[in-house]
A and B are shown apart, each in its own frame.
Chain A
Amino acid sequence: MPRVKAEPKKCIKSNLQQPPNSWVFVLKGETLEQSEQYTGTGTPDIVNLRHPNTGEAAVFLFSSANNSVQEILSFAEGKRSWFIEESVKSDGKMHLSTPIDPIFLVLPYLRKHCNSQAIPLDQLLRDDEFPQMERLLKCSGLKYLTMVADRKGDEEINAYKYNEEKTLAWLQKKTERVAEILKQKKIHVLNGAASATFVESSRNENVNNDAYLKHAHGIVSEYLMEDLSDKLLKHLNLSEDTTNTILKRKSAGSLIQPEAKVPKLDEERTPPSNVLDLSKPTLKSVKPPIQTSKEKSRSKAATGSKSITHFFKKS
């Protein structure tokens, strides 16, 4: 998915009476400006939707007219606070939003419910857990839903049936475009460190193409269920084991990726439990409780025994 770089406009929602409720949010200016053309009452809205990779709740931003959706990434490093006017906000998190193709959000629903039957889109997107899912209906991006599904029946009914072949072709295009952008920006995806000014000879280009494609597949996979990601990998004719090593290398060599977005790096390291809440797992440093020598020897004596909780149920 191409990430369009635009001049970010800093928008600080600060509420001095209730500092804990404020966020530091960097978002593209046009997201806010749209509200001027729009005659309705809505403002950009932050809602919970089902994340296409994890299936769990994640935070997304709808534009005022619901016609575009952005994902919100939060970036936090341990010791940081913000100065906002004359006050200090102790939560040093920074939130960024980037547009996301709504088809990614719809895809899990399609795959789950529309494998054998066509379902009208408005029924498909009814999710009791995430009622806001219905707002996706107005997203302009959904007119391309035929890229991943076949429309059945009357156009008015707007019913779709999932088509895996089409989906994989669509994902392939997405992946190739991401790879292209990576290449354009000269993002280092190979193993080992390299100087940012290092010019590679053209001989390596073929090898590099594969590496870029693999890296791009990794980025796209963050928005796909695991099985679909594997299928995409096969579709792209990339072998799985090398991908794993690349991923490993990626995280090991993450510091030398000069232009990679910082939240992305975090995402790679954290397990995909909740992709958007990046700060928590990295900040947690579990301090082992201090053990006395007696406790140590006792825990040594305890080796080879099952825990007593194994025998007695918690009441």
Chain B
Amino acid sequence: MSSIIAEGLKSVASYKSALIGAAIILMLVGISIYTVAAIPYDEAVRLWRAGEQTWIEAPRNAYPTWYSYILQKRLPETIIKDSSKPELGVNKVIVPAGETIKVLRIEMSFAFDYDDIPSEINIFYTVRYNKSAPQITMTWIKPDGTEIELRKFNPGSDGAYYLSVDASLASREVERLVNKFGQRPSYELTPTVSLFAVEDRSILERDTVTVMKGVYRLSVEGLLLDPQSDFDLKLVVYGKVYGWAGTDHLRRDIGIALLWGTPIALTFGLIASVSIALIQMAIGAVSAWFGGVVDNFIQRVTEVFIVLPFLPTLIMVSTLYKIDIWTILLVVIILLSFGPGVKNYRAVFLQLKESQYIEAAKAFGAGAPRIILLHLVPRVIPTMIPAIVYSVADFVFLEAALAILGIGDPRTPTWGKVIEDSFYGGALFKGLYYWTLQPAFLLLITSLSFALVGLTLDKIFNPRLREV
């Protein structure tokens, strides 16, 4: 048997398409090993289920970084400046101005050299005081010197200032532009746009508004009214690209799901196809060998399972028990163990049963288990391999399909999960194609590579096919 396999491997090499397929499979296995080693499963699940807090500094629905090359323009990346972490361009000074009162001054500056306006701006602040909260004034200074007062307030506790959705700032900005150009902007101007746009008439139209490049500054002045009082802030200017895979509607890095989807898809596909084929073969062998009542019973059970609709039954079971992906795998195996494959294997075994070497084994007094395991099964395994390899693709897609129906494992990040999210996040309506296409592409190359290898193996192991 080993010689058959060695022979097979040699002929696989002579098919170019199978080589490509095998190379892709190897690459996916490599990615899986890397992923499992680099991001532990629990960590991946935690990151994927973490919600806004973990991902608050990542942009929402950001493109993958390589989009910049395709669009031939530099899309903004996320810029973060933190006053509690001094660095170049971040200055924080506290000067005493009386017995208890101190004056706080924070200056942040960053160069903005991108070709597009950022997606969002948030300021997160922490504050410390005994009795009276500090008075804070924040001013935005554009590269051309335009000063815009953002907000004047007394922060009572730690919090966030969601600058992009500040309605009062938005209306003050519109007023400022009306005073400057004598005309209202023809669209709904958001603070993000007005803080980053070139200050001329182009800002009045949505289609002409352009980004102003240069050094931006955020200047914060504050009165600290207690001796122990302190104030720090973190400015986050969200970009339009993030990582190599972009982010979804919950700001999560899609890359995590794409990476973790690989080992899950491969394991799910391989375990399902191998174990189902082996079980079906075993059942077929028993059915063919014993015949009579056993055969009859197995055939009837198989027919019952063929009548049962597979997907709806699976949906029922998984909705009822809210099961995780490995239990789903088990249910899939149980439901398909008595599938139509049993009938095919039975037919093959019925033919083999009559062959002379089996008769010889019987004459030597070999028992049923011995003949089935040592003489029948090894003869059939080479012919099964192509079908096993080919059907891996089916199960990879089954997992994705369950996720798209919303009944997959909700905890585990998988490719199908990302596609489902992208559907409900309206990716296809909003033009966020990367969101759907990246996991789809991975699904495509995975199943295609297994199919290529499977079809080639089929030609090799079934000589009748090789002739034609």
A, B: real partners: no
Q: Which residues of A contact B (CB under 8 A)?
A: none
Q: Which residues of B contact A (CB under 8 A)?
A: none
